[in-house]
């Protein structure tokens, strides 16, 4: 069987009703018996033929066109920074809580123990990682786990404090919606 067909068959076996995000190394494990150069060619062909879709550098999506669970950027953020402490905060957390009404569409903000960066994810949008010195054990009372996104999520009070700490504008905040914990 041709390597690209073998890759497609493995992906079909792994996929469920949601889109499947895989890193370069995950895909490499599916076809270990070929050289790195040949693997890069197969990966490029898989993208150009529509078997895979490149989300961002080193991260690929397998699934039917239009198939998405609405949290793809959050899942991508979790995959990209799997080795660091990350949580949804700033404008993303406040928008989801109804505290601010205007945010850039398809833009998610994540506080991270890793370095600050903005990652372009094609037509899906952008992931903005903002560095934080905070440790998980110091924030346990302000975070809840969001199973849909696969990340921790800041409370409204924590997100407002993060906005202030990172000197982001607070003009869009509806202070009537903010709880007293700030």
- Is the pLDDT at 153 greater than 90, yes or no? yes
- Kindly state whether residue 180 falls inside one of the protein's structural domains: no
20 and 94 fall within a common domain: no
pLDDT confidence tier of residue 181, bands split at 50, 70 and 90: very low
Phi (first) and psi of residue 23, to 5 degrees: -85, 170
- Kindly state whether residue 181 falls inside one of the protein's structural domains: no
76 and 161 fall within a common domain: yes
| CATH number of the domain that residue 53 is part of | 1.10.10.10
29 and 55 fall within a common domain: yes
Instruction: Identify the CA nearest to 30 among candidates 53, 46, 48.
Output: 46
117 and 160 fall within a common domain: yes
Instruction: Identify the CA nearest to 76 among candidates 41, 116, 106, 38.
Output: 106
Q: What is the mean pLDDT of residues 150-175?
A: 93
81 and 160 fall within a common domain: yes
pLDDT confidence tier of residue 179, bands split at 50, 70 and 90: low
Q: What is the mean pLDDT of residues 117-135?
A: 95
SS3 at position 28 = helix
25 and 104 fall within a common domain: no
- Kindly state whether residue 90 falls inside one of the protein's structural domains: yes
- Is the pLDDT at 109 greater than 70, yes or no? yes
- Kindly state whether residue 39 falls inside one of the protein's structural domains: yes
The total domain count for the chain is 2
23 and 54 fall within a common domain: yes
- Tell me how far apart the alpha carbons of residues 77 and 62 are, in angstroms, rounded to a whole number: 17
157 and 105 fall within a common domain: yes
- Kindly state whether residue 113 falls inside one of the protein's structural domains: yes
Domain with 30 in it: 3-62
SS3 at position 20 = strand
Beta bridge partners of residue 128, listed in sequence order: 109, 118
113 and 161 fall within a common domain: yes
Please, what sign has the CA dihedral across residues 51, 68, 12, 26? Answer: positive
Model pLDDT for residues 23-38, shown as the tens digit of each residue: 988 888 888 888 999 9
CA 27 to chain centre: 18
- Tell me how far apart the alpha carbons of residues 36 and 161 are, in angstroms, rounded to a whole number: 46
39 and 88 fall within a common domain: no
79 and 37 fall within a common domain: no
155 and 122 fall within a common domain: yes
Model pLDDT for residues 91-106, shown as the tens digit of each residue: 999 999 989 977 777 9
pLDDT at 56: 93
């Amino acid at each position: 069987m041709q390597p690209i067909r073998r890759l497609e068959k493995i992906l079909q076996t792994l996929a469920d009703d949601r889109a499947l995000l895989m890193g370069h190394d995950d895909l490499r494990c599916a076809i270990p018996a070929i050289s790195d150069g040949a693997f890069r060619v197969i990966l490029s062909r898989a993208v150009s033929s529509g078997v895979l879709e490149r989300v961002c550098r080193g991260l690929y999506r397998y699934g039917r066109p239009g198939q998405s669970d609405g949290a793809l950027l959050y899942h991508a953020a979790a995959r990209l920074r799997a080795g660091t402490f990350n949580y949804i905060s700033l404008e993303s957390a406040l928008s989801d809580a109804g505290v601010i009404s205007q945010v850039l569409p398809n833009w998610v903000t994540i506080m991270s123990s890793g370095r600050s960066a903005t990652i372009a994810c094609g037509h899906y949008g952008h992931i903005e990682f903002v560095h934080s010195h905070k440790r998980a054990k110091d924030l346990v009372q302000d975070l809840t786990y969001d199973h849909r996104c696969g990340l921790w999520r800041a409370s409204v009070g924590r997100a407002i404090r993060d906005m202030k700490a990172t000197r982001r504008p607070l003009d869009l905040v509806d202070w009537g919606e903010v709880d007293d914990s700030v």
